[in-house]
Chain A
Amino acid sequence: MRYDAAIIGAGTNGLAAAATLARAGLSVAVFERAERVGGRCTTREFHPGFRASPFCDEIAPVPAAIFRALDLARHGAIFMPSAPLRSLGEGDSFEADLVGQRFRTEIQRRIAAHCAHVLESAKQPKKRDWLGRPVASAPWHRESWSARSLSDVLAEALSDETSRASALSAALDGRAADPHRGGSALLLLAPRAGSGTTMGGLGTFANALHASAQAAGAAFSLGLEVSDVRLAKRRATGIRLADGTEIEARAVISTLDLKRTFLGLFAWNELPEAVPRRTSAFRHAPATARLLLALDGVPAFPGGPVSVSSSSAAQAYAAWRTGTVPDPLPMTLRWVSATDPRLAPAGKAVLTATLSAVPYQLFDGAWTNEKRTALRERAIAQIEAVLRGLSARVLAAELIVPPDIEESLGITEGDLDGGEIAPDQMFAQRGFAQCDAGRTPIGGLYLGGGSAPAGPLGSCMAGVVAANAVMSDLTGGHLR
């Protein structure tokens, strides 16, 4: 049977794209190589009785319109808002919170403007010039923060040092960047947290998306990898699975990142010239590592996430660039079982640490077991320095470094952003410059993951935008 759309990858973007298309009445099939859906939104029992979301505690906020359209609340995804990131030792301050709130509103406003633009351009029919080359339907409005540095923007928006430090830590959580460099302000518009948490870890959110897609009639195939996208006359006509099964589809949405899509699913000689050039020029900046701790007893920890980073961000970035783990290690701690009692047995606790500026490849080679153990010990020692008595209480500790993320989630170099957040890789320049909304130079193929223009703007955005582009191209007669 010929599906209207075949979706590669059942992460949040793939699930959201499937739900959107299925609700519109199209026949959709989603192909995921893992045995479970959700991608990075999953809950893992890393020690008997202790659970956590291994890759991230929160994701970028899901736009409210998408949340309502997919009826996620009724499928079980209700997000508990989390407190803003603070530095250790800083108490609650409602005044600072108000100022911070105004700034967060400004950020949300900018992101929403970009989201609105990209959704609008997805709904516009695809345009081509007289040579048949893709043409952007409307120029993306210029983002004034594209040339500004993070420290500049924070200095202008926030009046006191502690708010600035907190906002800086939040923007650099899990990343490595020089806050003084022009263009680093874009990190604020590509948030990696802010959604809040679903109870039971992020797996609950993935299950809700899955339920919403299934309720609308999307078909799921788990445990089988997609090996190729079939092309006929430079148009995508379907996919081939690892066991040889061929699936025909009028449109193919790949939620894998740019490099995985084009390096993994195609032979380079069948791609138009622009594609390999763009793919090899696309940069990644993987910098996240995670530490999951199962604790016997409850730590003396303030409520809300806390950032522990005494080195400057620029120093951490310089170390990361040379392939070394910075010392001291910038990290964000979250006592996740405090807000979600389901994650730990009564009287015990789960603590997660997001380590930033951890390189994918070390200067002296790959991540060996010794190096992992060394980093794990270092991180625990650093936490012990601020939370006395912690290491005595550790029942289990699991470290996840970028190569592990790459292997588990199938994302290039373990880059959870899906591509470096830089001015020449954001908005209109992310993905393929003259193709808007996730369209590619290959007819019938759409990018719906982190490397798509809408990817960094919010969770599920890229998938929904690609779905809208597919729907508009179907009605416009561009997809046979």
Chain B
Amino acid sequence: MTDVLATPFHGPTSAANRCNRWKPRNGWTLAADYGNAHGEAIAARLNCTVADISWRWRIAIEGRRAEEFLSRLITRDPRKLAPGTAFKALWLNDHGGVRGAGLIARHDRESFRVISTAADHSWIERAAALFDVTVRDVGREEGGLAIVGPYARRVVEAAGLDPALEPLNFRNLFWRGLEVSLSRFGEHGGYELWCKADDGSIVWDRIAKAGTAFALKPAGLDAMDILDLEAGVPRPERDYELARDGFGAEPSPFDLGLESLIDDDQKLFNGKAALQGIRKTKARVGIEFDSETPMPHMSLLKGTEMVGRTWSSLYSPSLRGAIALAQVNRDVAAPGTELACGGQIARVCALPFLPVPDSIGE
């Protein structure tokens, strides 16, 4: 018998979720959609939506040697992180296989946060113990909302928050009696608002009220997944299996197309040595199908030869066709290459499928 973990926004989201469609993610229960996932995805691209992102795994890493530990763990140099900023990084196992991908945010000299879509708590905790650093899961203490879309900035402003924030920055605020944290971490050009778990309903109401003039709509998990796919961002566990034991070399960052998250200046991080020997054979590409049927986890063929595999695939209501993230051999990775998948034509295209729309009011 498992507990149904309700996010801090469960009250207001279940009032809005009149179709009563829920999905579990990372143990939490969230609205799958609020009646029309496609409409919500388009609204996120054209106007503004608010989504509950409390399901994202968040840990606080604190201690005197926290920076040293992180420097050893992740593929980028945490010394370059100023307080109030964040960057995306990977952490690898000993042989170069990707164990996790996420955002590292620095609160102050000895305090960091790691935010990721897939949890990896025990391994990091045991590793941290070697450095005398505490790792604390803050997921249950907080809730988070993502406000996404060209009007996100106007909504945040109308709600009484100062929207002046650089991308990958965050700020802790006192917002009419509530302690919140406003950040711009997401890939969709919006804002995230983190608050204490008890304040969930109030925060939701304030945002909803501020958003009425801008056609703000709530968006469920399905809509955000479509957005993620259209942005070309690979998600662990949805698109690829993380290297969960300490020693496997698959998947390598190069296979996942995430080599940009590796800082070559960084002298030492877990798995760096193994990376030297790994050959770069595959690439991450986007695939557009000529039909509306998604084709997840299927082989891509050129002629009769298998040249790659699709990861997750969804129907994109903006492009009005099925799209997929895929991993293909480097020699067929040029945009425009025509492959076949499940009898359908699959065309390679550049990522992201659609650019992040400009923010209105900047």
Contacts and interface: CB of A to CB of B under 8 A. Distances in A.
A340 B290 CA distance: 30
Given A73-B354, A341-B215, A94 B42 contact: no
Contact of B36 (A64, A78, A81, A339): A81
Interface string A193-222: 000000100000000000000000000000
B46 A199 contact: yes
A284 to B, nearest CB: 32
B291 to A, nearest CB: 9
A382 B45 CA distance: 36
A74 B354 CA distance: 7
Interface in B12-39: 18-19, 35-36, 38-39
Interface in B27-71: 35-36, 38-39, 42-43, 45-47
A103 interface: no
A341 B39 contact: no
B353 to A, nearest CB: 8
Contact of B47 (A65, A341, A347): A341
Nearest to B42: A80
Interface string A340-366: 111000110000000000000000000
B19 A94 contact: yes
Interface string A81-114: 1000000000010100000000000000000000
Contacts of A74: 354
B321 A64 contact: yes
Interface of A: 64-65, 67-68, 73-74, 78-81, 92, 94, 199, 298, 338-342, 346-347
Contacts of B194: none
19 contacts: A68-B319, A73-B319, A73-B320, A73-B354, A78-B42, A78-B45, A78-B46, A78-B318, A79-B42, A80-B39, A80-B43, A81-B42, A94-B18, A199-B46, A298-B213, A339-B47, A341-B213, A341-B215, A342-B360
Per DSSP, are chain B's interface residues mostly helix, strand or loop, or mixed? loop
B40 to A, nearest CB: 10
B20 to A, nearest CB: 10
Interface string B318-336: 1111000000000000000
Contact of A73 (B43, B290, B318): B318
Contacts of A342: 360
Nearest to A339: B215
Contacts of B215: 338-341
B47 A68 contact: no
Contacts of B151: 341
A204 to B, nearest CB: 10
Contacts of B42: 78-81
Contacts of B240: none
7 closest Cβ pairs, A-B complex: A64-B320, A73-B319, A199-B46, A78-B318, A67-B320, A68-B321, A81-B39
A342 B214 CA distance: 9
Contacts of B319: 68, 73
B292 interface: yes
Given A92-B18, A340-B215, 8 more contacts: A68-B319, A68-B320, A73-B319, A80-B46, A81-B39, A94-B19, A199-B47, A340-B47
Interface of B: 18-19, 35-36, 38-39, 42-43, 45-47, 151, 213-215, 288, 290, 292, 317-321, 354, 360
Contact of B38 (A68, A73, A81, A339): A81
A194 to B, nearest CB: 13
B319 to A, nearest CB: 5
A64 B292 contact: yes
A67 B288 CA distance: 13
Contacts of B290: 65, 68
Contacts of A94: 18-19, 35
Nearest to A338: B215
Contacts of B288: 68
Contacts of B38: 81
A341 B47 CA distance: 8
Contacts of B35: 94
A294 to B, nearest CB: 16
B213 A346 contact: yes
Contacts of A79: 42
Nearest to B216: A341
A74 B335 CA distance: 15
A92 B18 CA distance: 10
| Best-surrounded residue of B35, B47, B318, B320 (most CB of chain A within 10 A) | B320
